[in-house]
Amino acid sequence: MSGIDVDKIAQEAINAIADKIKNLNTLNIIVAGKTGVGKSTLINSVFKEHLADTGMGKPVTTHMRKITKKGVPLAIYDTRGFELGKEVQAEVKKEVMETINKGLATQDINKAIHCIWYCINTASNRIEPEEVEWLRELSMDNQITQVPIVVVLTQSFSKKKAQEMRQTLLNENLDIIQVIHVLAEDYEIEGLGIAKSYGLDILIKVMGEALPDELVDTLQHVQIACLEEKKRRAQAAVATAAVAAAGEGAAPIPFSDCALLIPTQVGMIASITVIFGFDVNKSVITALLSSSIGAGGATILGKTVVTNIIKFIPGAGTVVGGAISAGTAGVITAALGEAYIGIMELVFKGDMSIDDLGTKKGKDAMSALFKNQLKIKK
């Protein structure tokens, strides 16, 4: 049997990644709160590309600017002027509701507002009555539109104080989905050491639960704060692909027809890449494919490959009659996906760079992860 062109498959994967990114819906978030509460630090710590760097964004209302970056399916609507008194706060609330209603009127998910973060600085040691009143009035105005509101207690150096402020807000019985205290980045406290960042993962989990499913891939693509949620979403993509591969192999698949499974695996690799949000090039995908099949093969599911890797699958026995079973097709697909997630996790944690993936170090890591996954899949 002639081998399937790995270079061609890698290009198909790159094309699939580009298509999936292009088709991601835009996530739109309003971030409100007084100047100096740490909104920019919060945004830059949660989302990639340092969206909230000074000077970015264009005015869309008197007290609101829209922050976007080309190629990133995310828009942050940053409000200003809360510290200027009740009159300006009322104007801001009006602008927030007008922006929400304007987006809903388009009936376009890419233009709707999907969540509101209201930020309060925990280090201030108190919640101003006017802020509680502003949230209460916004909640009432939002009863029909029902945009999820999350209160974020920023700069929460003292978890005890943050918890007290959180409870104070919860006791107000506001129509908000959650109050979350965070420390967006590590902070050195003189004489006491470094206070480690925390809470951003909880914010991402709450967002994932509050958003419609059509926006969850976008959230995972743009967020850099929670590995667990990226993995959970990626593993769902792997499970879907494994079931599809097993279905495609419901009848034993002749080796000559194994290429039928490749689009499923290409789609899976593309989905995982998009969820993790890394800029992966063709050489990385080529290294992924070649390392997962070993030096003896040149296809994902060709005869050489299956003969080489079948021995790693418990209970698979031997290749019979020149065909692979549905179970084997599913196992190979799942192992490939889980191994790729493992590689993405190493990159996320900083244990490996994207550039490393095309080197011997990266290939060896991928090969080891793939073989290990084949052994543990039943």
Q: Give the start-to-end residue ranges of the domains of the chain.
A: 24-222, 227-376
Give whole-number Cα distances, 290 to 115, 269, 286, 306, in Å. Answer: 42, 14, 6, 14
pLDDT of residue 318: 45
pLDDT > 90: percent of the chain? 54
Contact 218, 73 (CB under 8 A): yes
Separation of alpha carbons 65 and 185, rounded Å: 24
Range among 270-274, 277-281, 332-336 rated most confident: 270-274
Cβ-defined contacts of 321-325 (< 8 Å, 24+): 321/252, 322/254, 322/255, 323/252, 323/253, 323/254, 323/255, 324/249, 324/252, 324/253, 324/255, 324/258, 325/249, 325/252
Residue 332: per-residue pLDDT? 83
The CATH class, in words, for 24-222 is: alpha beta
Secondary structure (DSSP) of 20-46: HHHTPPPEEEEEEE-TTSSHHHHHHHH
Give the largest CA-CA distance in the chain: 80
Judged against a pLDDT cut of 50, whether residue 300 lies above it is answered with: no
Half-sphere exposure (CA, 13 Å, Cβ side) for 197?
13
Confidence of residue 187 (pLDDT cuts 50, 70, 90): confident
Model's pTM, two decimal places?
A: 0.88
Instruction: Indicate whether 249 pLDDT > 60.
Output: no
Three-state DSSP at 319 gives coil
What is the predicted pLDDT for the residue at 252? 52
* pLDDT band at 299; cut points 50, 70, 90: very low
Residue type, 292: S
Residue 287: pLDDT over 50: yes
Closest CA to 330 of 261, 266, 376, 254: 261
- SS3 of 152-164: the string is EEECCCCHHHHHH
Answer yes or no: is pLDDT of 9 > 70: yes
Which CA distances in Å does 196 have to 125, 128, 158, 199?
A: 20, 27, 11, 10
DSSP class of residue 283? H
Q: Mean pLDDT throughout 222-226? A: 97
In the predicted model, what is the mean pLDDT of residues 197-210?
96
Higher-pLDDT residue of 9, 342:
342
Highest-scoring range by mean pLDDT, 286-300, 325-339, 351-365: 351-365
**In the chain, beta strands by DSSP E:** 27-33, 58-61, 64-67, 74-79, 115-121, 149-154, 178-181, 187-189, 193-195, 253-254, 323-324
Task: Give residue-wise pLDDT tens across range 65-118.
Answer: 999 999 999 999 999 877 768 888 889 999 999 999 999 999 999 999 999 999
What pLDDT is attached to residue 321?
43
Q: Report the distance separating Cα 194 and Cα 186, nearest Å.
A: 7
Does residue 278 have a pLDDT over 80?
yes
User: What is the average pLDDT across 302-311?
Assistant: 46
